Every structure is written in C-alpha cells, then in structure tokens.
Amino acid sequence: MASGSQARSREQLSELMMPRRPGRFKQFLYYFSRKPLGAVGVGLVVFVGLVALFAPVIAPFDYQAQNYDDLKVAPNLTYFFGTDQFGRDNFSRIVAGARITLLVGFTAVLVGTGLGALLGLVSGYFMGMFDALVQRLVDMWMSFPDLILALTIVAVFNNTLTTVILAIAATILPRGVRVIRSSTISIRETDYVIAARAIGAASPRIIRRHVLPNTIAPFLIIMSSMFGTAILTEAGLSYLGLGISEPFPSWGRMATVAAQHAITAPWIVLFPGLAIMITVMGFAFAGDALRDIFDPRLRGE
C-alpha cells in the first residue's frame, strides 16, 4: 500500500512539474504577436470574408443595375469607386464579386490541393508501382500549360460555375501531389516513423499520427500560394470569354473586360486589381503564419 501511494505521489508531482502545453488559441495569439504580417494577413482574409458575407447589406446599388446617364463616372461621394462602361456602380460590383471570387478561388484550391495532398501522401508513403504510375500521370498532367488545360476543360464541359472551379482545381492538383509526396518521403524515413513501424504500428496509424501532422506546413504553403494562381487563372479564362459568365460578377472578369477602358477610365481596372492584390497578399501572409503554428518542428515539439 505504501509503495502504491508513493508511486501515485511521484506521478502527481511529475504532472505538477511538467509544463502544460498551451492551448491552440494561446498559440495563435503568441505567434501572431510575433508575426505582425501574419496578423495583418488574417485580418485581411477576415475582412474580405465579412465583405462577402454581408455583401447585400454593404452594396449601395444592385450590381447589375445599369445607368446610361452615368457612364464611366469618376469616383465621388455617390459612386465610391466610380462607374463602369455600362453605368454600373463599381463598388457594388466589387463587394458582390467578393463572394464569387472567394468561392471560385477557395473551393478550387481546397479541392485541388486536397485531392493532390491525399494522392501524394499515399503515393509517397507506400511507394512501389503505385507511386511510379501516379508520378508518370502527374508528369503528363503537368506537361500541359495551366491555362490551356483549364481552357480545354471549360470549352468541353461549358463555362458553368462548377466547371470553372473544377477546371482550376485540375491545374492545382499535380502541384499538391508533388509537394506532399516529397514531404512524405522524407518523413517516412525519420527515426520516429521507423520506430513506430518496428513496434508494429499499422500504416494508417503511422500516417495519421506521425506523417500527416508534419505535412500540414507544406499543405498550407501550397494552398496560400495557389490561391492567387486560382484567381489569375479565372481572370485569364474570363479574358478569353470562358470564365464566370454574366450576370455573376468576379474581380478577374471585371479587371480583364474593362482593360480596354484603362486609359479613359482607369478606376474601372484599378479597384478590381487592388481587391485581387489585397486578397492574395492576405492569404499569403496568413498561410505563412499558420505554417509556423501547425508545424510541430517549428513549435519545438
């Protein structure tokens, strides 16, 4: 009895002496206080998300309403961002376009990198014939230029919102495969994975407990970097007439369609371009900060 109580006392004492791991919310506050650009990036992403969420309340005009008495009016107190070549309020269209642009960009990146990461994780861990087959398919996939591949998919299946999202996701998928596969190959040869395999741990458990947490950092990096690519790919499709079709407004379509009026009415192109730049920068800065939070090696674990 005495030895048992002493053992329990030692366990309680060790728990008291062992420093507690801070919660996830405290980790966010700690890293964002040390990384001001990450805090700025998260703020920009949250701001754009709120604009998209409350777009009907924020927009002063209907984004489709045309006023031929106010064609290409410069920014003023009535039209904050001016009007376009059809007399539509640019501010209302940019606010409404936040929903479409975020939906297309985020969904395409999530689907493309998600499927690519899953395929790269399985391919890199198990290797063998499956990995060789996947990599040859990825080589063929990446031999097509992104815009040509997306253009072909949209031209064959029509330029609906779903088709545009899947077409952009198809251009992102092979990059997710390559990045996550390379990280998985390096992780599967580490000492802790070899030790887990030696004590009889099953492959699904090793992947879930050891490999997957260490691939979150490159996954976040590829997601944050591909978001801007997704928006620009949609803009390129819009320029060729196969992007998001009217009446849906998107920043890429607004910037490319109005490019011919850039000299006489530069605000038509300027404000959609600024919206794209701010959103892409926000996701890039936020992704860099989130990498440091979720990466166990950078947390010192």
Q: Which amino acid is at 26?
A: K
Per-residue pLDDT for 183 more than 60? yes
Domains contained in the chain, CATH given = 26-63+75-299 (1.10.3720.10)
Report residue 168's pLDDT band, with 50, 70 and 90 as the boundaries. very high
What average pLDDT does range 205-224 have in this prediction? 82
CA atoms within 13 A on the CB side of 184: 26
Assign 167 a pLDDT band (cuts: 50, 70, 90). Answer: very high
Q: What is the C-alpha separation between 293 and 282, in angstroms, rounded?
A: 17
Give strand pairing partners of 66. Answer: none
In Å, how far are 66, 106, 250 from 56, measured between CA atoms? 17, 21, 15
Is the confidence at residue 198, as pLDDT, over 90? Answer: no
Q: What is the pLDDT of residue 63?
A: 87
- Count CA atoms closer than 13 A to 234's CA, side-chain side: 36
Rg (the chain; Cα; Å)? 25
Rounded CA separation 7/145 (Å): 66
- When the pLDDT of each residue in the chain is averaged and rounded to a whole number, the result is 81
* pLDDT tens for each residue of 72-116: 888 999 899 989 888 899 999 999 988 888 888 889 999 999 999
Which carries the bigger pLDDT value, residue 228 or residue 20?
Answer: 228
Length of the chain: 301
